[in-house]
Structure 1
Amino acid sequence: MQILLALIVGAVFGIAAHYAAPGRDTRGVAVGPVIGAIVGGVVWLIFTWAGVGIDNPWIWLVSFIAPFPIVYPILRVLGGVRRARDTRERARLRIS
C-alpha cells in the first residue's frame, strides 16, 4: 500500500518537471506525471524485491527523489525530438 506514496510523489515531481523542462507545448500535460509515477513505482518495486523493508529510510528517499532527475532529461529529449520532427515534416509538406 505504501507504493501509492511513491507513485503520487513521482507524479508530483513529473508535474514539476513538465513545467521546468523546455518545450512544454510539444508534449501532453500527462506525459511528465505518468513517467514520474512509473519511475517512482519501479524504484519502489526494485527496492522491495531486493528485500528492503518500509522501515528502511533508503526506500523512501530514493523512490521520492529518483523521479525528478530521470523525468526532466526525458522531457527535454522528447521536446527536442518533437521539434525536429515537426521541422522535417513542415519541410516535407512545404509548409512555411
Structure 2
Amino acid sequence: MELMFAGLFGIVIGLAARYTGRHRERSGAVLVPAVGGITALLVWEGLTWLSVSPGMEWLAYDAGWIWWITLGVTVLVTFLLALSIGTNRKRDDDELLDRLSHLGRAAV
C-alpha cells in the first residue's frame, strides 16, 4: 500500500514541477509526472530493499526517513528535468529555425 502512495506522490510532485517550470509548452503533458512517479517508485523500492540490511532499520516502513528521502529525491529529479527539458528544447528549436531559415529550400 505504501508503494502506491509513493507513486501517487511522485506523480503529484511531477505535476507541480511541470506546471511551475518555464517553457512547459515545449514538452509533453505526461512526461514529467510520469518520470516523477517512476522515480518515487524506484527510490522507494530501493530503500525498502536497503532497509532489511543490518544497521539500516531506520529506513523501515513506519519510520519517516524513507518518506523524506523518497520525496526529496523525487522533487530534485523532477524539477531538474522540467527545467532542463524546457530550456534545452527551446534552444534546440531556435537553433533549428535559424539553421533552416538560412539554408533556403531543401532539396527533395
Same fold at TM > 0.5: yes
User: For the residues of structure 2 that align with 1:39 and 1:47, how far apart are their CA atoms?
Assistant: 12
Amino acid at match of 2:97: R
Any residues of structure 2 matched to 1:45-64 within 5 Å, and which? 45-51=45-51, 52-64=59-71
* Structure 1 unmatched ranges of 5 or more: none
Q: Which stretches of structure 1, 4 residues or more, deviate above 4 A after TM superposition?
A: none
Q: TM-score, normalised by structure 1?
A: 0.88
**Equivalent residue in structure 1 for 2:88, among 62, 81, 92:** 81
The total of aligned residue pairs comes to 95
* Structure 2 residue aligned with 1:42: 42
Q: TM-score, normalised by structure 2?
A: 0.79
Amino acid at match of 2:32: G
**CA shift digits 1:51-93 (9 cap, x unpaired):** 2431222112222333122211111111111011101111121
* Structure 2 residue aligned with 1:20: 20
Return the index of the structure with the highest Cα Rg: 2
Give the SS at the match of 1:66.
Answer: helix
Could you tell me the percent identity over the aligned residues? 27
> RMSD value over aligned CA atoms?
1.5
User: For the residues of structure 2 that align with 1:77 and 1:31, how far apart are their CA atoms?
Assistant: 13
User: For the residues of structure 1 that align with 2:6 and 2:30, how far apart are their CA atoms?
Assistant: 17
Task: Return the offset for 1:6.
Answer: 0.5
User: For the residues of structure 2 that align with 1:20 and 1:12, how far apart are their CA atoms?
Assistant: 12
Task: Return the offset for 1:43.
Answer: 1.1
* Structure 2 residue aligned with 1:68: 75
